[in-house]
Amino acid sequence: MSTRMLAALVMTFIATAAMAHSTLKSTVPPSDSVLSASPPEVVINFNEPARLVSVIVARAGAPERKLQFTPVAESTTFNVAAPALENGRNEIKWRALSKDGHPISGTIVIVVKPAAATPKSP
C-alpha cells in the first residue's frame, strides 16, 4: 500500500468518526425511574459536547411545560433545576443539536408515585 493510499484511508476514517452524532450517555435520574417525589434536578449527559435546545415536560391531560436548563451553551452535561414534576407519568422531552449539527432528541420518563400514606387510626 502506498503512503498516499494509507493517508487517504486515515482521512476517511477521521471524517467518518467526526460525522457521528452526539449521543445521550446517561441521565440522572435514569429514564423509567419511579420516585416518591419530584427530583431536585435532572442531569442530562452526552458523550461529546452538544447544544441543548429545549426541554419540556409532558403529562397526559396537561399542557406541555417548558423547563429551564443550564448551561445555554455547548456542553456535555446539562442541569434542569427544580423540574417540579407532578404525580404520575412525566415525559421529559429534550431536543439538542449534535456536535455535527444534526438535531437529536429523546424522552426521559419519570414516574412520581408518593409512598402510600399510613392509614390513620380512627
State the pairing for strand pair 103-112/33-35.
parallel
Options 52-60, 77-85, 89-97, 101-109: segment touching Cu ion (CB under 5 A): 101-109
**Length of the chain as a residue count:** 122
The kind and range of the H/E element at 41 are strand 41-58
Does 102 bind Cu ion (CB under 5 A)? Our answer is yes
Tell which positions 70-99 bind Cu ion, by CB under 5 A: 98
Exposure string (b/e) for 23-46, b if CB count within 10 Å is 16 or more? ebeebeeeeeeeeeebbeebebeb
Contact letters (x/-) for Cu ion, 6-35, by CB under 5 A? ---------------x--------------
Q: Which residue is nearest to Cu ion (CB)?
A: 102
Q: Interface residues with Cu ion (CB under 5 A)?
A: 21, 98, 100, 102
